[in-house]
Amino acid sequence: MQQKNKGIMRATIALFLVFSFLSYSQENAADSILTLDAYLGYVKQFHPLVKQANIEVSQAQSEIIASRGGFDPKIEVDYENKQFKSTEYYDLLTTTFKIPTWYGVEIKAGFDRMEGDFLNPQNTTPDNGLANLGISVPLGQGLLINDRMADLKKAKIFVNLSKAERDLEVANILYLASNSYFNWYRNYNEYKLYQTFLKNATIRYDGIIGLIDAGDRPAIDSVEAGILVKSRKLNLEQARLKLVKSKLELSNFLWFENNLPLELQDFITPESALEKSIENTLRTNGLLLATIDFENHPKIKSLQNKVSILEVDKRLKGNLLLPTLNLNYNYISEPEFVRDFNTLNYQYGVNFSLPLFLRKERGNFQVAKFKLQDAELDLQFENQVLKNKIEYQLEEINSLKSQIDIANELVSNFQTMLDSEEKLFLFGESSLFLINTRENSLLSTSLQQIDTQIKFCVSNSDLFRLIASPEFNN
């Protein structure tokens, strides 16, 4: 029963998919067309890997919230009491409220009350306790940059890095989905082509049989015509198997709400003349190398953000070369007199430390510096490589446009030759062998025409992945 319900739900979703983004053929309402634009729209909206890429951005944004926690105010309470044989050794209460600030400065306030028979004299406080208000300032390490500052800066950079990598990931998913569509488009057109050639071979075979029965053709012609029919049937079955495989591969990219996978139905067909709409669909039409904004390219932005993260690490490691020099000052007063500020009541301290050789610190700083230099060189190299790849892709697209025109002319010419040969055959001035030869040439050229069209589509898809167009992905 549960399997039946699942089957009904799957059929319902498939039906909804058909009516939501498939356009109907004007010639036959039963032939539904799945356009590349609508297909990619569903991939972008529902594919799990696209959703996963968006989750990574949300995760990076959550890291900012976690990093800001290092600047949250903090309350600390420390209480100890010791009683032994009716003697109160000590009763110690220490409370502190701390406010960390951006530049390592810490503002704090507190209250201490300490009493007992065995109390250290320096810890003695008045009966009502002792209030304090102070500040801690790092004059060496931690003033201009510290772990809290570095973590927050890197978290903000990671958000931009995640967005850039998200755009690259989505572009790659759409690229793979597009190539899957192109493969389906190729196999569908090859299947339809073999159907046409099988139909022609069958008609020709039946005609030959009629001529043989009338005594106008030798019986051997039926064998040659029959061989061609069987050959076309074999071609068609091989094409059908490739078409089934490409449909299943395409279905890997078809998903719906609640991560429900969809299957491509047999009556759904790809759009016709894909090579005429591909540039508009992928927004690669009219692109010139000079018009591409490389500064905002996701690949370049990703590398720039990685450089920025390493710059923060380098600053943090360089800060550790400085000595530790912390200055603490606390104004102290009995609670009831805390408003009567008396500069004579205070507590201050200085903390200083410095390793004599700084070998660990100097080594870590050099490592951070080399990592930064390596990332900067990688950025320069990838920037130039990207420009060269896009320039070549634009040149390849222009070349393939010319190749498509030539292939179309060749198909038209071979079709003319075949038509002429068939007319000569009717007048007894040609042979079945010559007709088959002309037809095989037409078939080979038609397959080459489809292959050239697919190369043109794939080339546009390659360009789409290279430019990783943010306005299309987001």
Those residues with Cβ within 8 angstroms of residue 198's Cβ, 6 or more apart along the chain or in another chain: 229, 232, 233, 235, 236
CB distance 314 to 368 below 8 Å: yes
| Beta sheet of 268-270, edge-to-edge order | 23-24, 32-34, 268-270
CA 292 from centre of chain: 20
CA 23 from centre of chain: 29
3-state secondary structure of 396: helix
CB distance 229 to 198 below 8 Å: yes
- With helix as H, strand as E and coil as C, how does 398-434 read? HHHHHHHHHHHHHHHHHHHHHHHHHHHHHCCCCCHHH
Which of 70, 128, 124, 77 shows the shortest CA–CA distance to 100?
Answer: 70
pLDDT tens by residue, 255-294: 888 888 888 888 889 998 899 999 998 988 877 777 788 8
Those residues with Cβ within 8 angstroms of residue 439's Cβ, 6 or more apart along the chain or in another chain: 197, 200, 201, 228, 418
pLDDT at 337: 66
385-407: string of b/e by CB count within 10 Å (b at 16+)?
ebeeebeebbebbeebeebbeeb
30-48: string of b/e by CB count within 10 Å (b at 16+)?
eebebbbebbbebbbebbe
CB distance 144 to 101 below 8 Å: no
pLDDT at 470: 52
CB distance 246 to 238 below 8 Å: no
Distance CA 106, CA 134 (A): 9
Residue 272 is given by DSSP the state S
Task: Mark the ranges of the chain whose per-residue pLDDT is less than 70.
Answer: 1-31, 337-341, 470-474
pLDDT at 6: 45
Count helices and strands in the chain by DSSP H and E runs: 10, 11
Those residues with Cβ within 8 angstroms of residue 473's Cβ, 6 or more apart along the chain or in another chain: 44, 166, 167, 170, 171, 174
- Run of H or E including 133: strand 130-138
345 token code pair: 């009541």
Going along the chain from its start, the domains and CATH numbers come out as: 2-67+149-310+370-473 (1.20.1600.10), 73-143+324-356 (no CATH)
Which of 352, 423, 402 shows the shortest CA–CA distance to 138?
Answer: 352
Distance CA 285, CA 467 (A): 12
Those residues with Cβ within 8 angstroms of residue 155's Cβ, 6 or more apart along the chain or in another chain: 60, 63, 64, 66, 67
| Beta sheet of 346-353, edge-to-edge order | 74-84, 87-100, 106-115, 130-138, 324-333, 346-353
pLDDT tens by residue, 303-344: 999 999 999 999 999 999 999 999 999 888 887 766 666 777
- Run of H or E including 269: strand 268-270
- Run of H or E including 289: none
Those residues with Cβ within 8 angstroms of residue 289's Cβ, 6 or more apart along the chain or in another chain: 387, 390, 391, 394
